[in-house]
Each structure stands twice: as structure tokens, then as C-alpha cells.
Copies of this chain bind each other. A is one copy, B any other.
Amino acid sequence: MLSDTRTSAGVDNISTYGKMNVVENPGERVVCTTTAGNLALSQVVVSMIQDGFASDTLGGFHTLSTTPTMFATAQFIGEAIRRTFAAHGEAMRQQHIGFDVSVLLGGQIGGGRMQLFQIYAAGNFIEATDETPYLQIGEHKYGKPILDRAARHDTPLYDAIKLALVSMDSTLRSNLSVGLPIDLLVYRRDTCRVDIRRRIHEDDRYFRQLREQWSSALRDAYRAIPQPDWSR
């Protein structure tokens, strides 16, 4: 999972906020969320699921450390979003502010499957599948073409890390509302512990090298394509 840290309320009001939240109970669970949308909403949702609440859906008090399965965790986050809508939705509507919040949830709990979910502003959610092995929230368009071309469910893990970084780099270059540093979490199936957690800053040696190699490879690639022999 990969997220940026840029929050903006207009181009003249830019701040840095982490959007990744990780719960690790080694051997038992790794649960990672990233959020997009309105910062006030996503902070409320993240606080609710970190601190916990008495869940109607799950029946009893839960936090991201106690939910019994990944599916239940997606339901739990969906309920937190619906409760946030109940508290803030009407006042925002009166001021013509859209209720814009979404969450990616990835990880593995106990003996369950490793799963990846995208949870919408209505609290409903979808799961990634073999056919569509990646999910994006927030400003997704600039980074999507390379994923559509190259990301498959059997892409090796370290190739997938490179793809995610290349995808994020395209977005960083083309949209001011997405900015460094970026947060990376890598989890290996059935380990129930974090493999890599890293905040990548502007001066990160590897990321700089990846950006330069990628730009240079793209320029070489289009130049290597033969010219069309079309004439009028």
C-alpha cells in the first residue's frame, strides 16, 4: 500500500498529513488503511476505528486491533463512515460541501485470507480480485495507465512495489495536490507481520533513481518506436 501526504484546501493552503494507518499485532494481524477525500472526515473515521466504538454490525466494542476478520473490518469501517455521515452529512450539505471520504483497507487477520478492500463514502465496499488486482482512491487517473498495462495478480511483490512507485510518481509530477513524502507498506501473505514500512522523502536515494530511470526509459521508449509513413 502506498499513500501520499499532501492535503490541500486550495493551492494556497497546503499541509502534510499522513494518510496511512497501520495496526500490527505480530503473528496475529496486520491491518493497514489509507484514506482520501475531506481531511476532517477521514481524521474522524480513522480516530473512530483506532479508538473503537460499540459496533451495531459486529455486536460489541471493537477497534482495528480486535475486529475478527478482514471482512468484518471492512464492515466496521463502513459503519464508522455512516456514523460520520449521520453526524456531519446534513451540516455539510447545507453548506454545499460534498461528503467525500474513501478508505483502502488491506491486510490479514488470524487464519483468514489476505484481502484488499475499497470502502466508499456510503460505507459500502468492494474487494480486489485476480482480474482487478489493485485499487486506487483519491487522484487516481494519472497513475492508472501503467497499472492497467502491467499490474497483474501474479506480478512479483518487488515488481509491484516498483509499479506502485512509478504510478505515484506520474501523479506527483502532474498534480500539485499530491505531494511527497509518500508512505509505503509492504506485507507478505501469511506472515502477519509488516515486511517494509517506509516514509519516502524527496532525497530518498532509491526513489530518485527510480524516477530518473523511469523518465529516461519512457523517453527512450517513444523515440524507439518507428515513425509513421503516413502522408497526405
Q: Which residues of A contact B (CB under 8 A)?
A: 141-146, 148-150, 158-159, 161-163, 166, 170-171, 173-174, 194-198, 206, 209-210, 213-215, 217-232
Contacts and interface: CB of A to CB of B under 8 A. Distances in A.
18 contacts: A141-B142, A141-B174, A142-B145, A149-B215, A149-B219, A159-B222, A159-B223, A162-B223, A195-B231, A209-B225, A213-B221, A213-B225, A214-B222, A217-B220, A217-B224, A217-B225, A218-B218, A221-B221
Nearest to A166: B222
Given A159-B223, A223-B159, A149 B206 contact: no
B144 A174 contact: yes
User: How often does this chain occur in the complex, in copies?
Assistant: 2
A231 B198 CA distance: 9
A173 B197 contact: no
A231 B161 CA distance: 13
Contacts of A146: 218, 222
A206 B227 CA distance: 9
How would you classify the secondary structure of chain A's contact residues: helix, strand, loop or mixed?
Answer: helix
Given A142-B141, A174-B148, A196-B230, A213 B218 contact: no
Contacts of A221: 213-214, 217-218, 221
Contact of A228 (B206, B215, B230): B206
Sorted from nearest, which 9 A-B pairs have the closest CB atoms? A217-B221, A141-B141, A145-B170, A158-B227, A206-B228, A144-B174, A213-B225, A196-B230, A150-B219
A190 to B, nearest CB: 17
A224 B162 CA distance: 10
Contacts of A210: 225
A74 B227 CA distance: 32
A174 B136 CA distance: 13
Nearest to A207: B228
